[in-house]
Structures are given as structure tokens and as C-alpha cells.
Structure 1
Amino acid sequence: MGIRATPYSIPKYKYSQSSKQVYMLFFPEQLTPKAVIHLVRILYVDTVSGVIIETPLIPVHASEVQVIDLQGGILSPGFIDIQINGCFGFDYSSAFNDKQDKQSFLKAYNESMGQLLEYGVTSICPTVTSSQQHVYHDVIPILGLKTRSSNKADSLGVHLEGPFISPIKKGCHPPEAITDMKHGYISLQERYGQGFEQYAAIVTAAPEVQGCSEIIPQLTTNSPTVFSIGHTMADFDLALSAVHSGATMITHLYNAMPAHTARDVGVLGLISATKDTLPSDKIPFYGIIADGVHVHPSAVRAAYMANPSKTILVTDALYLIGLEDGHYQRGNQSVQKKGSLLLLQGTDTIAGSATHLIDCVHNLIKWTGIPLAEALATITNNPATSLNIAHRKGFLRPGCDADLNILSADGTLKEVYKLGQKIHGFKSKAAN
């Protein structure tokens, strides 16, 4: 028995002609994220193309196929983090000045992407916070180059968080880098560089910034780039207008935006807008940092319950994730790390997160009481759908990359596969 047919066709020339190069994964319990597998117990993976297939092209004989029995465990698509600023000592917003610096940047970047696999994170949107022009021009063509690798996490395109944001809700973004769009689309091209759209998966900006309302439809209509509302003082009406113009996402819900009140619901009001105001299919996706620091557990629960299929867990991790506690320098800013808490030195301003994505999932389960399978959808199905790549990432169905995680029933990460290749040297990651 194989995966049931899907509406789209799969070109057969992409796949191996040998059953010896096919994995057959057997899972006796239906515990994968909802809506990704429908009463199917066998998943076929072609290890040459690295893609999930409907059935092998030739008859499968048990002696010729590697069978992986999940033994009652959970099979999940690889995890996707659409907002991560760096990891393991590498900052995605780092500038470089010469060829040697560029080579060092590339080396550190590739190493960090490899290390992410140890935590089941198989795809990300490397995130660049508000920076000067030369930084964007240096890093966007590198971070935004969409990759497909068997030994490191893939880039789905860069997430440009800023610099077109509210100075009032800048968070830890350097104020000297913040600007407006008074010259319209040219402002984006000058700051990010000509042709940035081919590299940008997400642009986060504040709708009230001068010129922003005009560029939203231009950006989202002419490119695959997603416009996300964030770091903003926008009220509900302005945020709603941005959605009608093409915004389909909210960046780190609750953080860097006005608080929700009884009469002024602000950006937060979008996630539970009435149908006469906003059709349910137009409600934007929203990232939320479930690290126990950025957002109160009760607020995380309320946001998830409002619209589970639009909830996306993100880490918003700074490069300090994976490093020891202490004081670190980021540009002109000093950051103090204590566990998962990162603060700008001498302030109570949160400077990012140091919590891994799987730990955010465990927090969501603890705070909402939902099953692990449903929680996993927030880091697989939902982010893939939000970026319009559900045909190739984030789901267990034919045509999607075989980026796979095997977890025990308690959420311990046991094995990781990238494009059908097992990641060796992987150490089991227990639930915190």
C-alpha cells in the first residue's frame, strides 16, 4: 500500500529505476501531523532524487528494499524555522569587507546549517535584521540562495526583518539602520539591492511606514515574496488594509506591536477577525515565539486556539543559541545570555531567543494540551503552506523532499533524514 494519489502529477524521470535505492517506511500507528497522511501505513522514499514517491517504478521485493520500522514512533516532516537570526556563534547579519571575509562567512554559514540538522531543523529562512545597505548587498545573495542539500539545512530564501519598521517598536534593532519607503519600491531596491526578490522569502515591515502601503501589492503580486506585518504601531484598520493589499503573515505575534485592548485590538485582532471583516482563508499566518520568555504561556495558548492552521512556531534565535551563558557583542550592542534569556545589556529589552524549535513545540504541548502530532504541524505543514511551498516541503506526500524526522511518542528526536539520507553521528535529542 502506498500514499494515495495527489492532485498533481509527479514526473517519473526524476526517480531512480532501482528498488534497491528506495526506502520503505512502515508506521503502524497514525501519529503524524494531521492532514498529511490519510490512513496510509507505508511511505516510499527514492534515495537518488531524495523525494517521497507514490510507489516504486518497479515491483518491490523485501530483499531489495531497506525497510525502516518506526516501531510505534512518530514520523514527521523535517522542521522549518522561518525566523532565525543566526545560530552556533554565527550571525546572519554579519558584514564582510573582502574576499577572505566572504569565504569565512560562507564557511561559518554552511557549518551552522549543518549543525541545525542535529535538532531536526531541515529548512530555514535565514533572517537579517535591520542593517545598513552594504550588509544587505553582501549577505542577501548568499543567504537567499535557495538550496537543496543532503548534509545541511536548506535555505528557503532570506527573511528580511526590517529596516522599514517603526522606531517606537524597534526592539533590539539598531535605530541608526531604520528607515522609510518614501521613494516607494525604489527604497527597497536601494537598501536590499536590485533583484532582491529572487532571494527574499519574507519581508517584514510596518504598514504605517511612509510608502509601505503602496509597495505591498507591488511586492506580493510581482514576486513570490511574502509580506509580513511586524515591528509596528499599526491599529486594526491599518493592519486590515495591509492584508487586503497582500500581506499574508504577522511577524512574532504579540512582540513589537501595541497591546490588545477591549476597544483597540490592533494587529492581534487579525487572527480572530469576524468573517464579515476578513474571510477565514484571508486570515494571515502568524509566527509566535513559544520560548517562555517572549510571550506568556496563556497568550501562546490563546493565539494557537484562535487559529491552529495559521500558527507557526519560530525561534527568533540569535547567534548565541548553542553557546555558553555570558556577555556577547553584536555590532554596537552588548547582549547578556542566561539560559534561554537574551537581553540587551543594562536593559529589559529582549534581544532574541536561544531556544531550539523542538523545545518550543514541547512548550506548546504543555501550555495547550494538544497532541504532539498537532503541535508538529506548526513547524512543518503551516510554515510550508505560508511560503507557498507545500508541494515540495513540510508534508509527507509524493513530490515533497524526503526531509524526515523520527520521534518517540514522548517527543524525543531519534533520527533525522535529509533528502532520504540518514544523518549519521546524530545524537538523540530528548524532550526538555
Structure 2
Amino acid sequence: MLRFTNCRLCDNGELIQQDLYVDKVSGKIVSKPSDSEYVQTIDLKGKIIAPGYIDIQNNGIYGLNFSALNAQSSPDEIARFKAFYKDFYAKVLPVYKRTRSRLMADSLGAHVEGPFINLKKKGCHPVETFVDANATSFDSIYGAQNLLENVTIVTAAPEIPGVMEEIPRLLENPNVVFSLGHTTSDHATGLEAISRGASMVTHLYNAMPQPHHRETGVVGLVTEPQAGQNTPYFGLICDGVHVAPSMCVLAFRANPDKCVLVTDAMHLIGLPDGTYKWDKQRIVKTGPSLYLEGTSTLAGAATDLADCVKNLVKWANIPLAQAVKTATNNAADSLRISHKGYLNEGCDADLVVLDDAGDVLQVYKLGVPVAQRDPVECVTLSSGDVIP
């Protein structure tokens, strides 16, 4: 048994002074053990412990491009997926099956962003991969088995012929979320997609019409009265490049319970500034900014999720716990999962230890320490002993 003491639990947008217990065998969060159990105790000296962050839109890290992985690549290296070539889906998606690793980030399934997206809002996606759902089907592109086992989020434009009709059938699989993105959809079309089961908007503001006071487009769905409790979750890239700080604050305050911070990070995150080849194109990295060479087209991001959380704290002037909620509780809720993203009994003990500034000091995977910037002090006691 593992006990974290002298700590503040960060969950549901609040900080609570309370111990946290982890069963080291199952890797699950548990209630207080019996007096007969021996407990390894970690004194966090007043620091914050939160659920591990969940990034629902991530394309790679430190040179590892998730789109270029194959069946021989380790699933434990994978966190999320965005595919670019329709002929890759059948052989690549099985790599992204849902995993539960002891040491590395889990894959919660693939986030497939395309090929059913709008040419006019293509971003950096290669146009040769785009298709109409009338000409084919989601099953034929992704593979029926992949949709059942390996795909978690499908981003598509509802105005593409055939997509709207595919939404209810796609969502017969309870593990799949349909997200609106890379779209020219007006508000009415977006609302119809919500009525058919769409429950998310991919990287709000980016690759979609900007809201007008009489035609709010997809952005207006986040507070749509007709949607009631079904207002969509929305990914928000708080890097200060994709979205201006004031617009991040506007979106968060509009619907904080549905705001999900994402990175949209490319494989260039963590690498030095410079120009890098990416498929048939080249990307210029300058700090957190990535652009297709010779253009003003953004090519993903290079800011990690912890920095996005800290940015939201600063820009919105909110407590850290409220910002952490957008990268943990809200992210889990958007995927309709309950075994991660919370500190509830029975949840996986994927944990981050934070200081008051939101810096990540330690990372635990199923209760096992996998990364740390601060030393960990452990003692072994029976659960009835008192920690000085």
C-alpha cells in the first residue's frame, strides 16, 4: 500500500487537504487501508497531487511522429494519433489500441482527424487524402474493427456530403466520440450534428469560421441554449499562438465544465528551433510556434499540457485547481471514461505532483514513480502509525 500524506488533493476544481492511498498491486486508488496493512508513506510536504493529465489531441513528441508509427512500434510510446494518409489507417490504427502501461503514457485510442474534413479549412493536412463520405464510408476508411477497438475520437466536418448521415451509425459504438472540426459549418448545421450525437469541437476557433454576432458558427455551440445539457466539449489550445489569451478566457468562462485543454503538439515539441522535414513539406519551429515553411499556416503546436494549464491560470486569473480540471476531469468526461482523470476510489493511480505555480514535480503511473524533479522521501509504517 502507498500513502501520500501532508498533501492537497486537486480534483473537481478544488483543493482538499487529505491523504491519498494507492494499492501498489492493482495500481488503483483505494480507501484507507486496515490497521494490519503495511504502508509505504510519502510526505509531499504540502504539495498538490492531481490526476495525471490527459491530452486528447497530440501528434507526437521529441521527434516521435505518431502518424509514422507501424505495427512494430511499441503501444507504450503512444498517447494520441492524428492520421494523414487514408491508406495508412488499416495497418496503423491497430498500434493505437487502448493500453494500460506500468511505466509510460497510456493510449486511450486514436484521435483520427480526417480524411472527412473540409478543403477550405484544411490547415496543414494534405489535400490528396480528403474524401466524401458519400463516396465511401467510415468503416471502409478506418476499418470496422479499428472503430470498435482502436479509435476514440473522429474529427470530421458535418457539411461534407455523407458525414451527417454517418454520425448516428458511428456512435452505435459507445467508445467513439464524434467531434466537429476543420469545418465551414454554419451554426444550424453544427446544431444538427449535435442533435445526431456529436459531442465535441476540435481545437475551438482554429480551422472553422470565426463567430459573428448573427452567425456564430460552430464556436457558438459551446453556449447554445437549444443544446441544453448537450453543449459540446471543446478542445482549446492555450499556447498563446493558436488562440489569443483573451479568446481562451472567453471560451473558458463561457462553459468551464466543457473546456478541455489540448496541445495539438507535433513531434517537434522538445526539439531545438529550426526547419524540419515533415512528409512532403517542411515545418519551421520557433519556440512554441510551428509554421509550414514559407507560409503563415500553423502546423500544430510545441507547448506541453502543463504549460497550457499554467497559461490558463494566468490569463483567466483562476485558481490552479480550476485549470487542472480542464486537463483531467473534463478530458476524461469528454471521452466518457471513469477510470482515469479523477482521484476517486477505483481510478488508475496516474498522478502528478505539482507546486503552487503548477509546475510538475513528480509523475506516478499506476502508483509507480516514473519521473521526478523533486526527491521523494519514503518511510514504511503500519497504517495506524502517526506521521510526525
Return 368-377 or 415-424, whichever deviates more: 415-424
* 2:94 corresponds to: 141
1:373-384 alignment runs, 5 A limit: 373-384=321-332
Backbone CA RMSD of aligned residues: 1.7
Provide the C-alpha distance between the structure 1 equivalents of 2:7 and 2:132, rounded to a whole number of angstroms.
Answer: 55
Misfit runs of 4+, over 6 Å: none
1:359-378 alignment runs, 5 A limit: 359-378=307-326
Aligned: 1:150 with 2:102:
yes
Letter of the 1:333 counterpart? Q
* 1:192 corresponds to: 142
**How far 1:408 moved relative to its partner?**
1.1
Alignment equivalent of 1:397, drawn from 344, 358, 366: 344
**How far 1:192 moved relative to its partner?**
1.2
Alignment equivalent of 1:325, drawn from 262, 269, 273: 273
Q: Is the 8 A contact 2:14 2:321 kept in 1?
A: no
| CA offsets 1:327-349 (integer angstroms, 9 cap, x no match) | 11111111111111100010000
| TM-score (normalizing by structure 1) | 0.83
Aligned: 1:33 with 2:11:
yes
* 2:24 corresponds to: 47
Aligned: 1:315 with 2:263:
yes
Letter of the 2:101 counterpart? S
* 2:283 corresponds to: 335
Q: Is the 8 A contact 1:36 1:395 kept in 2?
A: no
Letter of the 2:166 counterpart? I
1:13-412 alignment runs, 5 A limit: 22-27=1-6, 29=8, 32-34=10-12, 41-56=18-33, 58-60=34-36, 64-94=38-68, 102-103=71-72, 106-107=73-74, 110=76, 112-113=77-78, 124=79, 126-133=80-87, 135-143=88-96, 145-183=97-135, 187-197=137-147, 198-274=149-225, 277-279=226-228, 281-390=229-338, 392-412=339-359
Provide the C-alpha distance between the structure 1 equivalents of 2:93 and 2:289, rounded to a whole number of angstroms.
Answer: 28
Letter of the 2:155 counterpart? T
| CA offsets 1:144-166 (integer angstroms, 9 cap, x no match) | x1111111000000000111000
Letter of the 2:251 counterpart? A
Q: Is the 8 A contact 1:32 1:75 kept in 2?
A: yes
Query: Cα gap change, 1:363/1:48 in structure 2, threshold over 3 Å: closer, same or farther?
Result: same
Q: Is the 8 A contact 2:183 2:208 kept in 1?
A: yes
Q: Is the 8 A contact 2:194 2:227 kept in 1?
A: no
Provide the C-alpha distance between the structure 2 equivalents of 1:375 and 1:214, rounded to a whole number of angstroms.
Answer: 36
* 1:15 corresponds to: none
**How far 1:221 moved relative to its partner?**
2.5
Q: Which runs of 5+ in 1 are unaligned?
A: 1-21, 97-101, 114-123
Alignment equivalent of 1:418, drawn from 349, 359, 365: 365
Q: Is the 8 A contact 1:130 1:178 kept in 2?
A: no
Q: Is the 8 A contact 2:263 2:305 kept in 1?
A: yes
| TM-score (normalizing by structure 2) | 0.92
Letter of the 2:143 counterpart? G
**How far 1:409 moved relative to its partner?**
1.3
Return 213-222 or 75-84, whichever deviates more: 213-222
Kindly indicate whether structure 1 or structure 2 has the higher relative contact order, using CA contacts under 8 Å at least 6 residues apart. Answer: 2
Count of equivalent residues: 373
